[in-house]
Amino acid sequence: MKKVHPLYLTVDSRGAYIHVKDNMFEIIIRSGVTEQKRLFAPSKITTLSIGQGAALSGAAAELALKYNIDIIFLDSFEHPVGRVWFPGLGSTTKIRKAQLLASVNLEGLRIAAQWLKAKTEGRLDFIVRLKKHRPEKRRLIDESVSILKDGIEKFGNFDPKLHDDPQGVLRGMEGSQGRIYFSLLGQLIPSDFKFEGRSMRPAKDHFNAFLNYSYGVLYGKIEKALIIAGIDPYLGFLHRDDYNMLSMVYDFVEPFRVYCEEAVFKLFSQKKAALKHADKILDGFQLNKEGKMLLLEELTKVFTENKQKYRNRSQAVDNIIRLEAHATAMRLLKLEFNPSDFEYIFTSDMTESI
């Protein structure tokens, strides 16, 4: 059993049992002849996450719903597979209403631009650190540094009102920055693994095979954090809302991609990643079991063991993701919208389909 945050309680110990005692949650964990008990006031909790090994009584579920506590059921990988919440208007409903409003006016794009700015800042910091140990590549790195700095300024000053197609402009800026960045990384890794840029479904080289799998791990972490924070993972601001597409996951993930990129780059630069770790498939490569184990070991260090500075405190990246998701939910709740913000919906081609 672990208390993750004063507002978020996760119970994942095998054999744990959650029931009600004196109008409080009592969690009982039995291990052999020993028994551990803890009480939690429902007024202190906003989310109760239940792992596969734990059990929840009907009375505990009723108490949670009475206090508008979201109940989330997790699979063996601690990914959310189901959710129960009170049917009345609570914080989750308000958050998703604000999220929907932001997605159909320009505020959502402003938020997306800030996430892209944060992503570019993280990548800039990464390649500047790479320069310290690669004096022979200094000129090459400096050229990319200059371009990324320019991108940071553009994302920071981005005003969607100034563009006829603000989404297209933002995607174009993101694409050009990404091409420069990955082109540089492709020239900095050991010569046996040099690559020309990003490739997906399938990866065209070993580096992208590692990177694609690491992104998949990260997407799961992002989706879980968004759901717990009350944010709809399918309702994005920049990425398309196609059927069954985790649009908000792909928007919100942007500042955190660099942790995967640095982890993968480290495996190659330290020559831990090898040809044997990816198998040739039709038109590309994919990680095999040995490659996945190597990568997951490194990602565990990155996300749970290594600490990063966040708001003047050292935090694990997993915690930072969760805290940022909660901060985004709070930001959405504070947004104020005017009817005029939505006039373009009823003056565009969308009118015919409404």
* pLDDT tens for each residue of 9-18: 889 888 999 9
Token pair for residue 121?
């800042």
- CATH architecture entry for 96-345: Up-down Bundle (1.20)
Q: Is the pLDDT at 311 greater than 60, yes or no?
A: yes
3-class state of residue 315 by DSSP: strand
Q: Is the pLDDT at 80 greater than 90, yes or no?
A: no
| Nearest by Cα to 119 from 255, 287, 316, 321 | 255
Given pLDDT bands bounded at 50, 70 and 90, which one contains residue 44?
confident
| Nearest by Cα to 75 from 12, 17, 7 | 12
Predicted pLDDT of residue 45: 87
Which pTM value belongs to this model?
A: 0.77
Over residues 284-307, mean pLDDT? 93
Over residues 86-115, mean pLDDT? 86
- Which tens digit of pLDDT belongs to each residue from 245-255? 899 999 999 99
| Nearest by Cα to 117 from 184, 198, 173, 180 | 173
- Cα(291)–Cα(71) distance, rounded to whole angstroms? 35
Predicted pLDDT of residue 13: 87
Q: In the chain, what are the domain boundaries? A: 2-88, 96-345
Lowest mean pLDDT, pick from 248-252, 266-270, 305-309:
305-309
- Cα(35)–Cα(16) distance, rounded to whole angstroms? 10
CATH of domain 2-88: 3.100.10.20
Token pair for residue 71?
């109940």
Token pair for residue 112?
């997306």
Predicted pLDDT of residue 188: 96
Q: What is the dihedral of CA 229, 234, 236, 238, to 10 degrees?
A: 140
Lowest mean pLDDT, pick from 120-134, 203-217, 327-341:
327-341
Predicted pLDDT of residue 240: 76
